[in-house]
Amino acid sequence: MANDYYATLGVRRDASADEIKKAYRRLARELHPDVNPDPETQERFKEITQAYEVLSDPRKREMFDLGADPFASAGAGGGAGFGAGFPFSDIMDAFFGGGGTRGPRSRARRGRNATLRVELDLSETAFGTTRELTVDTAIVCASCTGTGTAPGTSPDTCDMCHGRGEVQQVTRSFLGQVMTSRPCPQCGGFGSVIRNPCPECSGDGRVRTRRTIKVRIPAGVENGTHIQLAGEGEVGAGGGPPGDLFLEIVERPHEIFEREGDDLHCTVQIPMTAAALGTKVVIETLDGPEDVDIKPGTQSGQVIPMYGRGVKHLNENGRGDLMIHVNVETPIRLDEEQEELLRRLSKLRGEERPPGKFAPGQSGFFSRLRDVFNSHDR
């Protein structure tokens, strides 16, 4: 045999038809004249094409395996009609399904999703609320009900593709006659042409309008939460189904509380005497004013929890907590009587010259570094 077609494609003699096709596809992508115009590459492309034509045909492959070369009498040239001008995309279509009939595509397409920012107060995010929202969107055209045609008319069948939505072209190649399909350039693949578009929507099948929707915001949402409202987005072209509307929650800052998850934090400032003797202060919670006991000896920085006074858990029962941070104020200016009283108190408590108490920092750099090393040693 003058040619070893298996070696040309780089496959075993027992290779399956699928392996032969994959090998040819890989080589054809590299060597096709439309990709690589070098003369030596063109000659190599003709060789792999001839090899594929033999090995992909069961009758020719059997003949070759028995010792005969199907191209022995025709010479080493490629199949009839093959040349550098044969489109590379048509070769791929012939092998991998490009020639199949797909039919006309629908004019109706799903609408786009839309996002709307909704600003809420803390009390609204904590307990939920109902809002009426104004949305600028696209709806089905009432005049044509989404068809895009003027009243009393209908789309005409495309006279180029005859309603198929695609046109076919027959090209002669090394495989014989190869039929390829392309979307019809006249109708865009729809199979029909709107010659009398609807004057209201200009053939789009939808119009823009402003509408109001009532939305229930669940309790427990927070800044950045997205709520999906299925089917509340824009209607698609050609009367297609609507997309979804997403609400992006923006929580306004609160004048008293800072939110951390479902917990709330606030700071209360009390005089030094109140911290020493104990007192009661009124805190404005989300549920209204409540008394908070400040126990005698309360220190600055101490945290007093109020359980269940935070934000409701999203999609769950229960609430977070309200954490009250105490800040003890030390008086800056004292009159003579106040100063004398404090001096007497200091003397009675033996605190005229306190030695001071020192402790390692809780969150200093070196303590954090030590904790890291200790965790690795465990």
Tens of pLDDT along 152-200? Answer: 999 999 999 989 988 877 666 555 566 677 888 899 899 999 999 999 9
Q: Which domains does the chain have, with CATH numbers?
A: 5-85 (1.10.287.110), 114-251 (2.10.230.10), 258-371 (2.60.260.20)
Tens of pLDDT along 200-235? Answer: 999 999 999 999 999 999 999 999 999 999 999 999
365 membership: H or E segment, kind and range? helix 365-377
Strands (DSSP E) along 222-287, which ranges? 226-229, 245-251, 258-260, 263-271, 279-285
Helix axes 17-31, 39-55, angle to 10 degrees: 170
pLDDT less than 70: residues of the chain: 1-2, 32-37, 71-103, 170-179, 356-378
Q: What are phi and psi of 260, to 5 degrees?
A: -135, 95
Phi-psi region of 75 (alpha: psi -120 to 50; beta: other; left: phi over 0): left
Residue list for the binding site for Zn(2+): 141, 144, 158, 161, 184, 187, 198, 201
What are the structure tokens assigned to 199, written together?
A: 């004057």
Using CA atoms, how far residue 201 sits from 22, 95, 143, 332, in Å, is 49, 43, 8, 74
Residue list for the binding site: 141, 144, 158, 161, 184, 187, 198, 201
pLDDT reported for residue 229:
92
Q: Are 111 and 234 in contact (CB under 8 A)?
A: yes
pLDDT reported for residue 99:
43
